[in-house]
């Protein structure tokens, strides 16, 4: 058993946005590690199917909870159900999110509000709901950020703004909560195989949509999630996932003008 599996064995873990993509793979790998899972998502039919698949593999049956992170009270209910079922809560992974993209002139204030309601306020709702129990357990909170929180590309302003906000949130609360024995990990992936690029600007999932990115640029979900869980188990402050993500972050730190030049080139091609 690896150190990551040892850490998560018998831990109670709540995952938001657990019905597909990265959330689904988090559930699969955590179940193999022996974690007790509370899976929260809006798409309950997918959630129930995932629960049955995990149970059929004789890895214990997760608790499924219908939950919309944009609705006040849903996260508190999910935590209460988790406590009734498992008796404690050790780890929370605020994974729910989607991307609103497009040029400024084609977006509205409502587009930006909708993006922040899920990606930022949904994370805050999760943190506030789980904090009392995670503090008791001296456990972990993981926030699903993005390398878009480091470098913003033209045509992605709502999504990038939301991820910049999450990085600021993580940077602020990590030292605040350290004194409580609680560790926060910001997960900042680059391009990972997931469903985010099959979700439109209104949050609707299109299962038949093709991923516009070339396959060579996209890290497999399984590999990415292994790295994410290792970072959470170790209590890392932030983990950058994917090689291209690490390059982008390094450039943003030490040679930001290169990223700006790339952004101008992308913007010029889009407008031509």
pLDDT of 213 reads 62
Task: Indicate the domain borders of the chain.
Answer: 3-243
Chain mean pLDDT for the chain: 92
CA-to-CA distance for 91 and 257, rounded, in angstroms?
A: 38
Q: Any idea which residues carry the catalytic annotation?
A: 159
Contacts of 144 (CB under 8 A, 6+ apart): 17, 22, 93, 94, 95, 96, 97, 123, 166, 187, 189
Look up tokens 């008796």; give the residue. Answer: 87
Mean pLDDT of 229-252: 96
Question: Is 3-243 a CATH 3.40.50.720 domain?
Answer: yes
Q: Which of 2-16, 156-170, 181-195, 232-246 has the lowest mean pLDDT?
A: 181-195
pLDDT of 61 reads 94
pLDDT of 205 reads 63
How many other C-beta atoms lie within 10 A of the C-beta of residue 213? 11
pLDDT of 200 reads 64
Contact 23, 95 (CB under 8 A): yes
- DSSP SS3 for 63: strand
Q: What are 257-271's pLDDT values in tens digits?
A: 998 888 888 776 655
Q: Is 231 exposed, middle or buried (0-12, 13-18, 19+ CB in 10 A)?
A: buried
Look up tokens 């913007």; give the residue. Answer: 267
Contact 60, 36 (CB under 8 A): yes
Query: pLDDT-based confidence at 212, cuts 50/70/90?
Result: low
Q: What are 143-188's pLDDT values in tens digits?
A: 999 999 999 999 999 999 999 999 999 999 999 999 999 999 999 9
Prediction pTM value: 0.90
Six token digits for residue 266: 């992308």
Residue 68 has pLDDT above 80, yes or no: yes
What is the number of residues in the chain? 272
Query: pLDDT-based confidence at 34, cuts 50/70/90?
Result: very high
CA-to-CA distance for 236 and 184, rounded, in angstroms?
A: 8
């Amino acid at each position: 058993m690896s150190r990551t599996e040892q850490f998560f064995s018998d831990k109670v873990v709540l995952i938001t946005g657990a019905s597909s993509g990265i959330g689904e793979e988090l559930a699969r790998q955590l179940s193999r590690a022996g974690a007790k899972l509370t899976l929260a998502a809006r798409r309950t039919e997918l959630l129930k199917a995932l629960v049955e698949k995990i149970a059929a593999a004789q890895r214990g049956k997760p608790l499924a909870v219908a939950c919309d992170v944009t609705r006040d009270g849903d996260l508190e209910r999910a935590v209460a159900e988790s406590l009734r079922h498992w008796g404690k809560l050790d780890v929370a992974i605020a994974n729910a999110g989607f991307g609103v993209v497009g040029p400024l002139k084609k977006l509205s204030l409502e587009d930006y509000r909708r993006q922040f309601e899920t990606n930022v306020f949904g994370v805050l709702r999760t943190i506030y709901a789980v904090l009392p129990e995670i503090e008791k357990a001296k456990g972990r909170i993981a926030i699903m950020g993005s390398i878009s929180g480091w470098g913003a590309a033209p045509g992605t302003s709502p999504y990038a703004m939301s991820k910049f906000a999450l990085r600021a949130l993580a940077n602020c609360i990590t030292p605040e909560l350290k004194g409580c024995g609680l560790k926060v990990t910001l997960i900042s992936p680059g391009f990972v195989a997931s469903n985010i690029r099959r979700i439109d600007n209104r949050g609707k999932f299109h299962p038949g949509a093709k991923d516009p990115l070339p396959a060579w640029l996209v890290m497999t979900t399984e590999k990415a999630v292994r790295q994410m869980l290792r970072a959470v188990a170790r209590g890392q402050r932030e983990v950058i996932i994917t090689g291209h993500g690490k390059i982008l972050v390094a450039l943003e730190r030490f040679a930001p003008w290169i990223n700006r030049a790339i952004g101008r080139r992308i913007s010029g091609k889009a407008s031509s």
